[in-house]
Amino acid sequence: MPTRNLGLDLMRATEAAALASARWVGLGNKEEGDRAAVEAMRLILSSLDFRARVVIGEGEKDRAPMLYNGEELGQGEGPFWDLAVDPVEGTRLLALGRPGAISVLAAAPEGTLFNPGPGFYAAKLVVGPEAREAIDLKASVADNLKEIARALKRSVRELTVFVLDKPRHARLIEEIRYAGARITLQTDGDVAGALAAVLPGTGVDVLMGTGGTPEGVIAAVAVRALGGGMQMRLDPQSEEERWNLIHAGFDLEKVYPLEELCRAEDTHFAATGITDGPFLRGVRYGAQEAWTESLVIRGATRTLRKVEARHRLEKLRGISPVAY
């Protein structure tokens, strides 16, 4: 029998967050843009007919007005869903008016998402379905690119690698270029980068490098639901973070496969564009209306929907306290 697609409800929350934060695009204030998204997302999630608990958030690392870990949301009954949230992935992109900012949510059955503890950063390797058996985070960059190219029946020179443009990636960038692959350098947004690596037609074949651990767990839900491949290893960026992870019992050499990052098939993922990106258009405004574009992915069926919605702003403002 058909069952409820929770992802469509989650999409209402990412739409609300995108609409609220898009008013701050290009104004140079990422904190206020993030705050608007958090408040809008929390309002919608609190009204939904389900029970959920936030287990992966961004607030502690970004010092944001977070949807805090352990916060319970929803008005329904039954078992809890674990939520991984990022009301604005790419707060700097939003503040500067750059492409690629999105609002994202992932839900999985209770206890099935990887808990990184005090780990804020992780090395990641993400590819699409055709190359999911070709990756090995313990192998060299050149060997990975060679095996990925072989799986895709292409040459290494035809591959494009998504890498965050950070000082920590100087050596990685050199190794990718020495191997012969092309690079797309982006300042922020590695959930979007992971999605670009898995979705067809984006021009990205693989994501490499170290980014946020919360973003890694969120991305893992989508990657598994789409049949892609992903591996992750904790990669602390400070001595304090390293000490906290070791003290908490984490093995810093362990490579986590996708099945340990997300241990369930019955998952839901939603993302809405805030600014234009490679697979989602950003929020667009008319005189009294706005348009959003979203992705909704259901893990149980691997169904992917792209939803374009038109929102009548005066109607929304009449029934909601969100500053649309």
Residue numbers belonging to the annotated binding site = 34, 58, 86, 89-91, 121, 166-168, 188-190, 212, 215
Question: Which two three-digit tokens encode residue 312?
Answer: 């009548």
CA distance 248 to 203: 39
Q: How far is C-alpha 255 from the chain's CA centre?
A: 20
Q: Are 155 and 147 in contact (CB under 8 A)?
A: no
Q: Are 244 and 69 in contact (CB under 8 A)?
A: no
CA distance 162 to 185: 6
**Run of H or E residues at 221:** helix 213-225
DSSP 285-321: E-SSEEEEEEEEEETTTTEEEEEEEEEEHHHHHHH--
Binding-site annotation, residues for substrate? 89-91, 121, 166-168, 188-190, 212
Closest CA to 259 of 230, 235, 233, 234: 230
Q: Are 164 and 92 in contact (CB under 8 A)?
A: no
Alpha-carbon distance values, 60 to 41, 66, 102, 117, 207 (Å) = 18, 8, 19, 12, 25
Instruction: For CA atoms 233, 187, 215, 154, give the dihedral sign.
Output: negative
Question: Which two three-digit tokens encode residue 214?
Answer: 């919360």
Binding-site annotation, residues for Mn(2+)? 34, 58, 86, 89, 215
Q: Determine the straight-line distance between the first and last CA of the chain, rounded to whole angstroms.
A: 37
Strand order in the sheet with 256-257: 182-186, 160-164, 206-212, 121-127, 229-234, 256-257
Scan for tokens 């959930």, then name that residue.
191
